[in-house]
């Protein structure tokens, strides 16, 4: 009897606060996805958001052992422009082979839970118009256009 080939899903990677030994895995995953090596940046990010975690500064990773399959970083920001404090997500990555399996949604849910624990009722982020993958991801989580318009100007 021919054996049926079945596509197996990888075991769900647990989500936990990042620790210092996770930073090389974060650097490697970010490099794999973006093509950029930003070792110093991620060590600084860990110092700022992961070394002393609380509900308002969140650096979460998903993975088993030293293999990092995803991460998310955010913080509570007391915004200017008349806005009340809100959660702000400024980094999220999921290993391409582990996408569309709910890992990004679990990371997003976990960071939102942290913001709720800090008494925050709103989460924001910013995406490049051309980055359809990440834009679609945030939309699929229920995010819609916020009340602010981003502006910039060249200073050269």
Partner 1 sequence: MTLQKATIIALYAVLELAAEPERQLTAVEIAEKYDISAHHLAKVLRDLGRGGLVDAVRGAGGGYRFTGNAKRLTLMDVISLFEDVEAETDALPARAAGQEIAQGLRFVLGEIDTQAVATLRSISLSTMLKLAARRPWAGVEMNPVKRGARRAG
Nearer to partner 1, 8 or 144 (CB): 144
| Count of CB atoms situated within 10 Å of the CB of 101 | 15
Which of 1, 78, 145, 153 is in the footprint of partner 1 by CB under 8 A? 145
**Closest CB 6 distance from partner 1, rounded Å:** 21
CB 112, CB 87: distance < 8 Å: yes
**Closest CB 60 distance from partner 1, rounded Å:** 23
CB 28, CB 38: distance < 8 Å: no
Which of 19, 34, 66, 140 is in the footprint of partner 1 by CB under 8 A? 140
Judged by CB under 8 A, the stretch of 43-51, 64-72, 101-109, 137-145 that binds partner 1 is: 137-145
Q: Does residue 153 belong to the site contacting partner 1 (CB under 8 A)?
A: no
Judged by CB under 8 A, the stretch of 12-20, 91-99, 110-118, 130-138 that binds partner 1 is: 130-138
Nearer to partner 1, 2 or 142 (CB): 142
Query: For residues 116 and 122, what is the distance between their CA atoms, to the nearest angstrom?
Result: 8
Q: Does residue 48 belong to the site contacting partner 1 (CB under 8 A)?
A: no
Which residues ranging from 110 to 129 are in contact with partner 1 (CB under 8 A)? 129
Query: For residues 144 and 139, what is the distance between their CA atoms, to the nearest angstrom?
Result: 6
Residues engaged in binding partner 1 (CB under 8 A): 129-130, 132, 135-136, 138-140, 142, 144-145
């Amino acid at each position: 009897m021919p054996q049926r080939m079945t596509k197996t899903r990888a075991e769900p990677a647990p989500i936990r606060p990042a620790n210092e030994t996770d930073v090389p895995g974060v650097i490697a995953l970010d490099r794999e996805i973006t093509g950029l090596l930003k070792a110093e940046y991620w060590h600084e990010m860990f110092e700022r958001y992961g070394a002393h975690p609380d509900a308002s500064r969140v650096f979460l990773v998903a993975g088993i052992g030293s293999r990092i399959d995803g991460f998310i970083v955010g913080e509570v920001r007391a915004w200017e422009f008349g806005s009340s404090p809100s959660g702000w997500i400024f980094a999220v990555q999921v290993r391409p082979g582990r996408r569309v399996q709910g890992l990004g949604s679990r990371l997003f849910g976990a960071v939102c839970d942290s913001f709720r624990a800090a008494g925050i009722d709103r989460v924001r982020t910013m995406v490049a118009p051309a980055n359809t993958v990440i834009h679609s991801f945030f939309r699929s989580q229920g995010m819609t256009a916020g009340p602010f318009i981003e502006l910039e100007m060249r200073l050269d």
